[in-house]
Every structure is written in C-alpha cells, then in structure tokens.
Chain A
Amino acid sequence: MTDKIISAKNVELKFGKGSEEVVALKNISLEVGAGEFVSFIGPSGCGKTTFLRTVAALENPTSGQILVNGVSPDEARTNRAYGYVFQSAGLYPWRNISKNVSLPLEIMNYSREEISKRVSRSLNLVELNGFEKKFPWQLSGGMQQRASIARALSFDADLLLMDEPFGALDEIVRDHLNEQLLDLWQKTGKTICFVTHSIPEAVFLSTKIVVMSPRPGRIVDVIESPFPTSRSLEIRDSKEFISISQRVREGLRSGYDHNENKG
C-alpha cells in the first residue's frame, strides 16, 4: 500500500515511575522508506536500541504512534514482517548451523522441502555453505554472526532490524562483514535498520543516518547520504565521506553539550 516501511510520530517511551523514571525515547518522529538502509548512531543510553525494540514490538511506546508496514508493531510481529539480529549471535548451542537457521521456519510451520531450500539459500547469502553440520562453538565470532543473519533472512521478511550486530567483532572482520552486508542488501532489496556505535560503519553503510543523543533519548540530526547504493570501501577516503563523518560527530557532540549545560 504505502512505501513507508516504518513511520513514527512523536513516539515517547518511559521506563520506571516517579523519581526513578527514565525517558528512553522523547519525541521521536521518523520515516523509513522501502529499500532504505538506515543507521542509528549515538552513545549508550540514547535509545537507539530501544527504538529498534519498539519497532519490533518488544517494547511498547508510552505515547505517540508507530506504524510498521502501515500496521501496529505488534501486528507486524504477528505477520512476521521483520527479522531481528541481536548484538550477540544468540545461536542455540544444541543445534547445528543449518538447524539454527531453520528454527524460525520450523516455528512458522514451513514444509520440509521449503525449509531445506530456504536454509541453503540463506546460508548462501552469507557465504556459509559447507558449514551446515557444524555446531556454533566450532565457528568464529564473525561466522556465528553471519549465521544469525542467515537465520533472520530465512523467512524472507522485507525488514531487517540489526542491533549492533558487529559490535563485538574486530575491525578487519567488521570491514569484511560490512561489505558483505551491503552486497546482501543490494541483492535482496530489503529495508535495513542498523544500530551502531561506529561512525565509519554508519557512514559507509547507510542511505540515511539518524544521530541520537541520551537523557532523554532523542534524534538530533538526520543525514541523507549522497553515495550511490553500490559502493566500495574506497569511498571512505573521499571528501564527502569525511564531511559526513564530521557532521555525525558534531551531532553527537551537540547532544553532549546540551547535556552538560543542563547540569
């Protein structure tokens, strides 16, 4: 119907009551269109993960409205509209890689043939074919995270929510996975929301960068990226890349300043 995959209006979310009340999200308004790659960047406590969890219906906003695919997040969850990738791979140690990828498919009652077809296709996308029978502890951290991405891809949701998926990995592995993710995004045409701590990662990957700030968690800047969807690691040395990085950094700093003035 609409090509707006996510649309949030004045979303506010509070945890706790009285003096222990924490405003995790305040006045968040944002639209994410189909096929976009949106990064959420900001320091800890800025609400970027909370916002992602709200989109996934793992948290409920205190006020304001949020729509995913034009319906409420909970309805979207029921429709299995999104795949979620957590910071840790979260693979089940008693299932081998192919069984881990097939977990959502089993829950969604796919047929056996369909499951095996989808598992091999998803593993193909993250270049993990050949590791079907391995157990998680036999894989490196980067491979585990790729397996968890394959798991999120397996049921073909159009929206991929990724919460610092590469946060625990070293820089070299991270670069490689970023390229792979970009490749995967172009191949599948999915909409991706990506939470990160890293400025280069955000600038390199995104079509839109959402800069957030803590206490209360809010959006301080939204930057549209001028880079084409098809890009390589070299763009990181370009002028535009550096200037966007600067703008992100300024956004982050203004959040902090604001905070200090307050007190």
Chain B
Amino acid sequence: MTTMRIRAKKFLKKIAGKILPILTILFLLTVVWYFFTIYLNSAMQIDRYDKQGISWNTSKLVLDTMSQERPKLPAPHQIAEEIWETTVQKKITSKRSLIYHSSITLSSTIVGFILGTLLGVVLAVSIVENRAMESSLMPWIIASQTIPILAIAPMIIVVLNSLGFSGLLPKALISTYLSFFPIVVGMVKGLRSPDIILVDLMKTYNSTKVDIFFKLRLPASVPFLFTSMKVAIAISLVGAIVGELPTGAVAGLGARLLTGSYYGQTIQIWSALIMASILAATLVFSIQAIGYLVSKKMGYTNEEA
C-alpha cells in the first residue's frame, strides 16, 4: 500500500517534471499572443469605431479586438473555438471538417514518409557498400535539398499530372523528396557506426559481406534510423502541405490554408496551422515511442532499468 503510494508519487513527480516546463512556456506564449492580438488588431478596430461614430473606451477596445471576424491576428480562444467547431461539431465526412482535411494530408504524409524511408535506406546501403556510389550519388543527394521545395513542388505535380498521376501520389512524392534526405544521412552514419574492431572480429570468423551487413551494420544502425525518422516524418508533413498549395487542391490542410488566405479568413488559417502542428507533434512522438520500444526490445537501452 505504502509502496504503491510512493510509486504513484514518484510517477506524478516525473510527469510533473516533464509537463510543467512545457506548460510554463505555453502560458507565456499565450500571454504574449494576447498582447499582440490586442496591439495588432486595435488600429483597425479604432478605424471602425471612427467610421461608425461609436464611442469607445479601453476595455471595450480590448474585448472587441479579440472578437473580430477577420483579425490580423486572431486570439487563441478564437482559434480554439474554430478548431472545436470544425472537429468535434462537424461530421467527419463534411467538407468543412478539419479532421477530414487532416486525414487527407495525413495519408499523403504517411505514404510519402514510407516511400522516403525506403528510398533513403536503399540509397544509404548502396552508398555504404559501394565507394563509387558514394562519390557519384552523394553530391546529387545534397544538391536535391538545396532547391527550394516551393519552387519545385508545382513542377513535380504538373509533370506527374501530365503522366496521368493525380491525387495522393504527387503530394506524397513531394514528401518523399524531402524526407529521404535525413534518412540517407542518418543511415549512412548508422551503418558505418560499428567500431573497427567489431568489423575485424567478423573477419576473423571468415564471415561474408552479407553476414557483416545483417548481423553487424544493420542492427547497429537502428537507433540512427529512428532519430532520422523523427526528422523525416515532420518534414513529410511539410511536404504534403506544400504539395497541396500550388495545385488548388480542394481538400487537405494546405487547401484550408489556401482558401483561408483567398478570403482573408485568418482564423481558418491559424486553426489549420495549429492542427498541422498538433499532427506533426503526434507523428514525431509516435516515432519516438516506437523507437523506444524497439531499442528496448533489442536490449539497447540502459535508461532506468
């Protein structure tokens, strides 16, 4: 009984230790945000008062700046309200449901991420196993990331459309284009991470290259892979959203951003943005959790046995 209570207390302390700092920053951000909401929106509000001949005071001004329909910067509670209305209070199948739009973006993110991971691993393996591949591929791989994605995304989509691909795949390929890079870099490092004596040891067993790869290099690269995958999945989401922008896509978070900006609906834009970051955080956290479980299963971890 007492041990359970002590354990529960320890657990709470641990959670508190992790969550409190995050909440503190969140609180500070909210305060700053409200300040800017009032500051940025007040000019337009005063303008409106003058035009309509309404008398006003500071407290009225403050309240009104936080309830404009198309504010320069919406207040956090306006965004929260919008997210609430477009998620919980809308049917998922509705074209105005943010969950619907998120799922569209999410599916191309996941497809692009999986393709990017596969591509990245294949490239990394060929680079590590073949010197010629390294000198011929690596410069191009790096060059590919120096092109602004916003510039190349419409080109990819136009080309793929004319080849008969539309919908999810072109968007996913933009995610792939972004996400394979951290995977290549991380995996090359991971596959080369084994100590020289471990490779020598394998040689003393007269093992084949295949043995060295599967029994040594590949398992050694697993922690590196998960670190890269965390970066890759976050930029996959960016890629999917960017992929939705130039095509005039009708669905997806990118489409929400675009239509929002057409009609000056800042609240809609901000709620799509917040939704995207929640999505990104969830994805990154999931990868981290899977990585933790896998390395624990492999016997890697020595954190708090």
A-to-B contact residues, CB < 8 Å: 56, 58, 77-78, 80, 82-84, 86-88, 90, 92-96, 103-104, 106-108, 135, 137-138, 155
Contact = CB atoms under 8 A, between A and B. Distances in A.
Contacts of A93: 299-300
21 contacts: A56-B204, A58-B203, A77-B204, A80-B205, A84-B200, A84-B204, A86-B200, A86-B201, A88-B195, A90-B195, A92-B219, A94-B219, A94-B222, A94-B300, A95-B299, A107-B202, A135-B302, A137-B302, A138-B302, A138-B305, A155-B205
A90 B203 CA distance: 14
A86 B197 contact: yes
Interface in B189-220: 195, 197-198, 200-207, 211, 215-216, 219-220
A58 B299 contact: no
A92 B202 CA distance: 12
Given A90-B195, A96-B299, A138-B305, 14 more contacts: A58-B200, A77-B203, A78-B206, A80-B205, A80-B206, A83-B204, A86-B200, A86-B201, A90-B201, A92-B198, A94-B222, A94-B298, A107-B207, A135-B299
A108 B207 CA distance: 8
B75 to A, nearest CB: 50
Nearest to B297: A94
A103 B215 contact: yes
A87 B195 CA distance: 12
A88 B197 CA distance: 9
Interface string B265-305: 00000000000000000000000000000000011101001
A77 B203 CA distance: 8
A95 B302 CA distance: 13
B248 to A, nearest CB: 49
A115 to B, nearest CB: 14
A93 B219 CA distance: 10
Contacts of B195: 88, 90
A83 B206 CA distance: 11
By Cβ-Cβ distance, the 8 closest A-B pairs, closest first, are A135-B299, A94-B298, A137-B302, A84-B204, A107-B207, A104-B205, A86-B197, A107-B205
A242 to B, nearest CB: 35
Interface string B169-202: 0000000000000000000000000010110111
A103 B211 CA distance: 10
B120 to A, nearest CB: 21
Interface in B205-263: 205-207, 211, 215-216, 219-220, 222
B204 A106 contact: no
B152 to A, nearest CB: 39
Most buried by A among B201, B204, B205, B215: B204
A110 to B, nearest CB: 12
A58 B202 CA distance: 11
Contacts of B300: 93-94
A106 B204 CA distance: 14
A90 B299 contact: no
Contacts of A82: 204
Nearest to B194: A92
Contacts of A137: 302
A108 B299 contact: no
Contacts of B201: 84, 86, 90
Which of the listed residues A86, A95, A96 has the most CB atoms from chain B within 10 Å of its own CB? A86
Given A58-B203, A77-B203, A86-B197, A107 B211 contact: yes
Given A92-B198, A93-B299, A108 B203 contact: no
Given A107-B207, A108-B205, A90 B305 contact: no
Contacts of A138: 302, 305
A94 B299 contact: yes
